[in-house]
Amino acid sequence: MKKALWFSIMIVILAAFFASSHPDGLEKVAEKLGFIKQAVSSPALFNDYHVSFISNPSLSTIIAGLAGILLTFGLFWLTAKLLVRK
């Protein structure tokens, strides 16, 4: 599991430099079909994969990705600990 966590962290760090600022697939389809204006924006901690209080875009994307990985691995680890009986 440690290898998978470290591999995921390295992927996030490397992928952050290739992240596109263009809309994703869902946004592109919403623009094309004309219902993007009906979208409702809500406050989020990592809005558009960025941390709002960090001004460097690459660093902000890396930190948001790392937080996502750590939260996901943490939830899976906690679930496994709760479900597996010794």
| 1 in a structural domain | yes
Q: Residue 74 pLDDT more than 90?
A: yes
| 26 in a structural domain | no
The domain of 66 spans 1-17+54-86
Closest residue by Cα to residue 50 from 37, 27, 67, 72: 67
| 28 in a structural domain | no
- Which region among 8-12, 43-47, 74-78 has the lowest average model confidence (pLDDT)? 43-47
Q: What are phi and psi of 55, to 5 degrees?
A: -80, -25
In this prediction, residues 6-17 reach a mean pLDDT of: 87
Q: Residue 82 pLDDT more than 90?
A: yes
Give me the chain's average pLDDT, please: 86
| 9 in a structural domain | yes
| 34 in a structural domain | no
| 7 in a structural domain | yes
Q: What is the pLDDT of residues 43-69, one digit of tens each?
A: 877 877 788 888 998 898 899 999 999
What pLDDT was estimated at residue 51? 86
| 4 in a structural domain | yes
Closest residue by Cα to residue 19 from 55, 85, 64: 64
| 40 in a structural domain | no
